[in-house]
A and B are shown apart, each in its own frame.
Chain A
Amino acid sequence: DTAVSQTPKYLVTQMGNDKSIKCEQNLGHDTMYWYKQDSKKFLKIMFSYNNKELIINETVPNRFSPKSPDKAHLNLHINSLELGDSAVYFCASSQLAVSTETQYFGPGTRLLVL
C-alpha cells in the first residue's frame, strides 16, 4: 500500500481553469503538508494542516486553497490557474509531536498550465 498518494499524477489544463489535487495518507499521521517544487528545483512549503487545522500558511496567492476533510486527506484547490502555477506539487505527512519524525512524501503531481 502506498503511504502517501496523490491524484492525479499529471494534470494539463488551460489558463484560467480551476483544478484540484488530492492527497491521502494511510500512516495515521496527524499533520499533512503541501510543497511546491519551483523552477529552480527547490521544494518550498505552501501549507500544513495538523488535525484538520491550518498551522502553516506561507506567502501563497489566495487562488490556492487547501482543504482537509479529515486527518488522512489534504486537498489543494487552485482557482484561475496561471502559467506560473506550472510546477510539481508534493504532498507529505508526519506525526508532528515527535521531533525526530520525518516527513513522508507522495509521488508528486506534475501540473502544466497552457
Chain B
Amino acid sequence: ILNVEQSPQSLHVQEGDSTNFTCSFPSSNFYALHWYRWETAKSPEALFVMTLNGDEKKKGRISATLNTKEGYSYLYIKGSQPEDSATYLCAFRTDSWGKLQFGAGTQVVVTP
C-alpha cells in the first residue's frame, strides 16, 4: 500500500447497532496514525493519536486499534447514535515533521 486507504467509503447504520471500518496505510516508516471525526461544515475533530503496535484507544463509545506490522487500524462505534453521523478520517504520519497523509474518509450515516 502506497497511500492511505479507508474502507468502506460510506456506510449506513441503524441506531443502536455497532459498526467498524478500516484504515490501511504503508507498513514501513510508521510514526503515528491519527483519527479524526469530521462533520459537514465544521472542522475535523481529533479522536485519537496512536503510535505503538497493538495500541487500543477509547473515547466514549468509539474505540480504535492499531496494527503497524500489517498496516491497518480499525475504528469501532458501539451502539451508534444519530450524533455519530460524520466522516471519519484517518491520517498517517511517517516522521516527526508533522506531515499528515489523509485518507478519503468513511462517511457514517446513523438512522433512527
Contacts and interface: CB of A to CB of B under 8 A. Distances in A.
Interface of A: 4, 31, 33, 40-45, 48, 50, 55-56, 90, 94, 96-97, 99-108
Nearest to B87: A41
Interface of B: 31-32, 34, 36, 42-46, 49, 51, 89, 91, 96-102, 104-105
A96 B97 CA distance: 7
Nearest to B3: A42
B109 to A, nearest CB: 16
Nearest to B89: A43
Contact of B43 (A40, A42, A94, A108): A108
Given A99-B32, A104-B46, A40 B97 contact: no
**Highest count of chain B CB atoms <10 Å: which of A55, A90, A103, A106:** A103
20 contacts: A31-B98, A33-B98, A40-B104, A43-B44, A43-B102, A48-B97, A55-B97, A90-B43, A97-B96, A99-B49, A100-B32, A100-B51, A101-B49, A102-B49, A103-B98, A103-B100, A104-B46, A106-B43, A107-B42, A107-B43
A10 to B, nearest CB: 11
A107 B45 CA distance: 10
Contacts of A55: 97-98
Contacts of A106: 43
A102 B44 CA distance: 11
Nearest to A107: B43
Contacts of A44: 102
